[in-house]
Homo-oligomer: A and B are copies of this chain.
Amino acid sequence: MINQEYKSMLSGKSVIRQLSEYAIARGKKIGYENVFDFSLGNPSVPAPQSLTDTMIRLLQEKDPMELHGYSPSLGNPVYKEKIAASLNRRFQMNYTAAHIFPTTGAAGALAHAVRAVTTPGDEVLTFAPFFPEYGPYISGTGAQLKVVPADTRTFQINFDEFEKMLTQNVTAVLINTPNNPSGIAYSTETLRKLAQILKDKSAAFGHTIFLISDEPYREIIFKGADAPYVSKFYANTLSCYSFSKSLSLPGERIGYVAVNPACEDAEIIVPMCGQISRGTGHNCPPSIIQLAVAEVCDETADLSVYETNMNLIYDTLTDLGFTCVKPGGTFYIFPKALEESSVSFCNKARDYDLILVPGDSFGAPGFFRMAYCIDTEKVQRAMPRLRQFVREIYPDVANGKV
């Protein structure tokens, strides 16, 4: 019989996707260049030419049997070695190839990491605001996701609420820094405090609480941001990465889990991921993508546009009277809406062809997300429209009366 659980999921449509579909439909009427679409988090810069050149060279020069052959079940050793060496050099870690498990993007990485360190029924805590896909990602493993309310003042961790919710049933904590949707990177102070609590509570509960760090935006960091490498703070960390954003390769589904060498059971977590793959149908990311990314894993696309866009938007927002924490990275910003309901606020903005996403589905109602992975020229054209919208709909705010 058809599975009723998956069937019932069909009715729940993603707000982001709905807004994106609206933007495209609206674009067909008035020209997409006239729709200020801040809905989707898709990279807006091309992959580096070196990636293209490497793939062409592999296709021209490498024996197709080897190029397109099965990867070993724990991943291509060249890819694993290059990733380990890159992380070690950049973050002063001591990974070996045996600590790296290649995955189909960050989604694949999380699917493996969570299954490896939890048992169905366990609780996994994450912090608002959070990427809404964590819901189905975690429930698909059999674990239960619980969301710690946001510290809306800083979008660092709300430690009071965290300590209340960190009970015996929690076996893993999932963080995302730099964060989608807030754009905030967890500071050295935040990560130190988090690590201390996890150590203390692991000892108190008599079981290790693992830290799963989802960091696809790790390479998109803005000037002056304090955005340290998470795994340095806490040994029992599994870092989940995707090259989707840093190399602008979201469709190629390439990432990894990196297990801290000092982690409990570090030597078996990657082999366990190989076992997990058998049940999920994962079986290694594509061979040619592993080989190509291995060669360019230290490079990035030209990511500077995101900081340019962020500054343009942040300056306009603050000038207009918005309350807004300045992003330390990513291509998102998460200001407070100008009325209590961010859904109502975003609906009104839509009438100005400004496509903004309400914070409700990120676990932070009252805020809204703008994804500024779009051309700077369009961001520049959007700012007068944003001013017009605020002036006309929220005149008191625009006049500095609120």
The residues of B that contact A9 with a CB separation of less than 8 Å are 272, 275, 278
The residues of B that contact A271 with a CB separation of less than 8 Å are 10
Known: A1-B208, A56-B60, A59-B55. A71 touches B251 (CB 8 A): yes
| A384 on interface, CB distance cutoff 8 Å | no
B2 close to A264 (CB less than 8 A): yes
The residues of B that contact A251 with a CB separation of less than 8 Å are 67-71, 284, 286-288
The residues of B that contact A56 with a CB separation of less than 8 Å are 56, 59-60
A42 close to B70 (CB less than 8 A): yes
Q: Restricting to A58-89, which residues have a CB under 8 Å from any CB of B?
A: 59-60, 63-65, 67-71
Tell me the bound Cα distance from A6 to B249 in angstroms: 31
One of B70, B116, B281 near A112 (C-beta < 8 A): B281
One of B7, B103, B286 near A268 (C-beta < 8 A): B7
Tell me the bound Cα distance from A60 to B52 in angstroms: 8
Known: A104-B104, A117-B3, A279-B140. A55 touches B52 (CB 8 A): no
| A285 on interface, CB distance cutoff 8 Å | yes
Q: Restricting to A197-219, which residues have a CB under 8 Å from any CB of B?
A: 207-208
One of B3, B69, B105, B111 near A119 (C-beta < 8 A): B3
Tell me the bound Cα distance from A115 to B112 in angstroms: 18
One of B10, B70, B105, B286 near A272 (C-beta < 8 A): B10
| A118 on interface, CB distance cutoff 8 Å | yes
Question: Smallest CB–CB gap between A309 and chain B, Å?
Answer: 16
Tell me the bound Cα distance from A282 to B110 in angstroms: 11
| A148 on interface, CB distance cutoff 8 Å | no
The residues of B that contact A47 with a CB separation of less than 8 Å are 64, 68
Tell me the bound Cα distance from A4 to B115 in angstroms: 10
Given contacts A2-B117, A47-B68, A71-B251, 14 further A-B contacts (CB under 8 A): A1-B119, A7-B272, A43-B65, A55-B59, A67-B251, A68-B249, A70-B250, A111-B279, A133-B278, A140-B278, A141-B279, A251-B286, A252-B287, A253-B283
Interface residues of A (CB under 8 A from B): 1-7, 9-10, 42-44, 46-47, 52, 55-56, 59-60, 63-65, 67-71, 103-105, 107-112, 115-119, 122, 133, 136-137, 139-141, 171, 207-208, 248-254, 264-265, 268-269, 271-272, 275-276, 278-289
